[in-house]
Amino acid sequence: MRGYQSEVIYQIDQNDFLVFFNDQWDLFAQDNDGPHLKSENIYNRKIWDFIHDAETRHLHETLLKRVRSNNTILNMPFRCDSPTLRRFMEMDILLQVDGKIEYRCRVIKTQLRNAVQVVAGNIQEERPFLRMCSWCKKIDVGNNSWVEIEDGIAFLGLLSQAIVPQISHTICEICLGDLEDDE
């Protein structure tokens, strides 16, 4: 088993352009079989160029908005597998004094990947649904229990799965109540 002694750190500016990587980034990219992800190749590219799944992007955009507007530090688990390893990781997302956003990622544990797992068929159809409130961005973790997005991601392991659920936009009970009060 191989671990990283230090964190992989990268930053984006106010317009979501990648503007900083630490040395661990390149080691990590190398390990992921991703020479195209070396820092010199992606400097000043938008972070969204590298998140191809629409639902994952939506989750990340929502998280980013929360960090920028509330100046909170979010911490959540995610998966980032290499060709040989299942990597269980966590990231901190924090706002810097100069307005940049810093991502700090670290490996929690790794497992050897099972080479026989081949996904057949249409993944789109197998996606489970995830309910998100369009107003407050909370997500439903079951039994009509609505929690902040970062808590829901951790609770449901949303960024730790091979397939991110499809997000269905709806309105939670609290926001619905607020709307009705305004009338």
Interacting residue with Zn ion among 133, 153, 154, 156 (CB under 5 A): 133
| Position 147 contacts Zn ion (CB under 5 A) | no
Across 51-145, the runs of DSSP E, i.e. the strands, are 74-79, 85-95, 101-112, 129-133, 139-140
| Position 141 contacts Zn ion (CB under 5 A) | no
In the chain, alpha helices (H): 23-31, 39-42, 54-70, 123-126, 149-156, 173-182
| Position 66 contacts Zn ion (CB under 5 A) | no
| Position 132 contacts Zn ion (CB under 5 A) | no
Residue 47 · residue 128 · CB < 8 Å: no
Interacting residue with Zn ion among 56, 135, 141, 151 (CB under 5 A): 135
Please, what is the minimum distance in Å from the beta carbon of residue 167 to Zn ion? 14
Interacting residue with Zn ion among 19, 37, 51, 136 (CB under 5 A): 136
Place of tokens 């107003």: 135
Distance CA(130)–CA(59), nearest Å, equals: 11
Please, what is the minimum distance in Å from the beta carbon of residue 16 to Zn ion? 25
Binding site for Zn ion (CB under 5 A): 133, 135-136, 172, 175
